[in-house]
Structure 1
Amino acid sequence: MGAFIAIILGVLEVSLSFDNAVVNASILKRMDDRWQKYFLTWGILIAVFGMRLLFPIVIVSAATGIDFMGVTEMALKDTATYAKHLEASHVQIAAFGGMFLLMVFYSFIFDETKELHWLGYIEEKMSSFGKLEAIEIIMALGPLLIIQNYLPQEIRLDALVAGVTGVILFVIVDSLAALFEHEEEGEEVVAVLKKSGMMSFIYLEVLDASFSFDGVIGAFAITQDVVIIMLGLAIGAMFVRSLTVYLVRKGTLDEYVFLEHGAHYAIGVLAGIMLVSMTHHIPEVITGLTGAVLIALSVISSIRYKKRAA
């Protein structure tokens, strides 16, 4: 029975993370073979043990004031209480993950250098707004400020801090990546880091974390066995990462030119759902189906575009 539940959780993880695999592939293709291998080895360990096991324990520890070992023991021996504490931290988790993913979406939509537009004039117009200074931050903080007004007074500050932290983390990672593209600024250090793919690796791990938080909480609705949850989500995480490498090796993003667009729109929808879930419960099936539909539509559009260009 435990193995069956683990498989179900793995399938759930994959269904909710296909858009993550596509975006990962768009970044991974710029990394050398060594860091692509790290993505599948060290990256898996970080994703499974770090983001899906240890980090939720850290969150519960910070929220309750219980020491790390105490929360670890709780997770293994008193899973009902652990799940309750983790669920109580949902608002902060959703605020952080939702804001980070929203910044990922906006960085793509407001990219003024983007030449191919899936939605034609509308997307082209949105790209032109990228000329405005800090447009992504402005557009991201607006929804957070609105939603926090509908939260209980005692958790508003926590939600704001978590959300702003998500924005700050994205800005730091994105700014460092931009620095590494200009070798004249600290040429020796930049050359080493650019070659190693370190920042891309860090970016991918943070992106994965933003996707995984809600999956961990949702898994407790299926089982409260932490070991089975970890195994199930590990199966899904390994499949998604293998799929990411497959997309890179097969040149799928070059073949289906709008696939990256569809994945980013799916991420935008997921970010919105995570923010709304701070005040209203949203079934995970909606998240999964919406992402699948957008990915499917982008593939269909890519095929039609290729036929017209032929």
Structure 2
Amino acid sequence: MKIFRGSFIVSLIALIIAFIYAGWNGVFITLILAILEISLSMDNAIVNARILERMSPAWQKAFLTVGILIAVVGMRLIFPLLIVGISAHLDPISALRLALEKGNPHTAGTYGYILHQAHPQIAAFGGMFLLMLALGFFFDAKEYIWLKLPEAFLEKLGHFPSANAIISLIVLLISSEFLAKNAHQVLFAGGLGILTFMLVDGFGEMMSQSKTATSTNFAIVTGKAGIALFLYLEMIDASFSFDGVIGAFAITSDPIIILLGLGIIGAMFVRSLTLYLVKKGTLNDLVYLEHGAHWAILTLALLILASIKWEIGEAVTGLLGAVIIIFSFISSLLYNRKQR
């Protein structure tokens, strides 16, 4: 409870603000958005925890303090404003004014409508970034294999040079050709997603050469390597936020309520959960949990790409991810019992 204490305090403050701003209805919608964010981000917390384990205490603290500001202000407030500003050719102040008007997402010219129209490009960028992330995990050699047939196949496939980029590009070409109304925009945005992952991942690999302290299982990185991992972690965190930010507009177009529910309450609890997994060493005890998280990420990436053409509710993506992670959790418990 000590780890989650700060999240409960911040959540209470956020709900009070929601009540002052929009009454009990505002509190209700804020809670719904917070639950949406937490349910969609279980896999995010597991992946973050594995990376956070490699960071020094100072960088862990930076992720849980500076990182939360980036997640809340950057992804839940500035990013949607930026998308609307670029799409509607508005300056930041005009985009903010438009957001505060709380227009209907189905009415042309409103904040929610413009953001919804930009969904194919956002989905292509975020979907390709997450696809690269998931495939990168399964292509690497691992100590444990959970789903033996598909994971063994993917690991062998990963021996082929540049397999991750090749398969991701094939998926992007198929998506842009058969799912998108504007193939050029989706192809460009998806290409940026792949390029961004390769740059961030490559930068992290390059910087991780300067490891200064060791643990029994892995290296603890500091200095430049810590910066690289911090940036990598923030990019992953941002990619996981795309579907939640867009999905929130199906519930409300009020940017203040979205900021309180998704950004403050949701992001705080996801970070607390990440810290809990690190402090308790949960991922080392539950050996298949990380596998489940990456299968959930792979599923999420494909659903995000499918949403370029079809409407897919956040309940579907959240439920599928939760089922996969619960399944991997149960499998880990059964494995531990068998070992004992």
TM-score, structure 1 as length reference:
0.93
Q: Pairwise CA RMSD of aligned residues?
A: 1.6
* Aligned twin of 2:165: 137
Asked if structure 1 preserves the Cα contact closer than 8 Å seen for 2:126 and 2:239, the reply is yes
- Asked if residue 173 in structure 1 is aligned to residue 200 in structure 2, the reply is yes
Which of 188, 200, 209 does residue 182 from structure 1 map onto?
Answer: 209
**1:212-227 aligned within 5 A:** 212-227=241-256
Q: Residue type matched to 2:240 in 1?
A: F
Structure 2: distance between partners of 1:183 and 1:254? 25
Contact 2:177 2:183 survives alignment (8 Å): yes
Give the superposition deviation at 1:267: 0.2
Asked if 1:84 is matched to 2:106, the reply is no
- Local SS of the residue matching 2:143: coil
Is there any run of 5+ residues in structure 1 with no aligned partner, and where? 185-189
Determine if contact 1:9/1:219 at 8 Å carries over to the other structure: yes
Give the stretch that moved more between structures: 252-261 or 3-12: 3-12
CA contact (8 A) 2:43 2:297 kept: yes
Within the candidate set 158, 173, 194, 2:185 is matched to 158
Answer with 264-273 or 73-82: which moved more: 73-82
Partner of 2:223: 192
CA contact (8 A) 2:130 2:301 kept: yes
Identity of matched residues, %: 51
Show CA shifts across 1:226-245 (max 9, x none).
10110001201110011000
Structure 2, gaps ≥5 residues long? 1-24, 105-109, 212-220
What is the match of residue 187 of structure 1?
none
Which moves more between the two structures, 100-109 or 35-44?
35-44
* Higher RCO (CA < 8 A, seq sep 6+): 1
Check whether the contact 2:179–2:306 (CA below 8 A) recurs between aligned residues: no
2:10: which partner in 1? Answer: none
Give the 3 Å change call, closer, same or farther, for CA 223–122 of structure 1 in structure 2: closer
1:115 is the counterpart of 2:139: no
Equivalent in 264, 275, 289 of residue 319 of structure 2:
289
Counterpart CA distance in 2 for 1:181 and 1:224 is: 42
Matched, 1:44 2:68: yes
Give the deviation of 1:150 after TM superposition.
Answer: 2.7
TM-score scaled by structure 2? 0.85
What is the distance in 1 between the residues matched to 2:127 and 2:308? 10
- Total equivalences in the alignment: 301
Paired amino acid for 2:173: L
Within 5 Å, give how 1:223-238 maps onto structure 2.
223-233=252-262, 234-238=264-268
Q: What is the CA-CA distance between 1:152 and the residue it aligns to?
A: 5.5
* Compared CA separation, residues 235 and 107, structure 1 to 2 (3 A): same
Q: Which residue of 2 aligns with 1:309?
A: 339
Whichever residue aligns with residue 224 of structure 1, its letter is: S
1:47–1:208 CA contact under 8 A, matched in 2: yes
Equivalent residues of 1:52, 1:213 under 8 A apart: no
Q: Deviations over 1:95-123 (max 9, x none)?
A: 00000000000000101x31211112431
5 Å-filtered alignment, 1:194-209, equals: 194=225, 197-209=226-238
Provide, for residues 154-185 of structure 1, a one-character-per-residue CA deviation record: whole Å limited to 9, x for no partner: x211111110101001001111111123349x
Instruction: Say which of 243, 248, 267 aligns to 2:273.
Output: 243
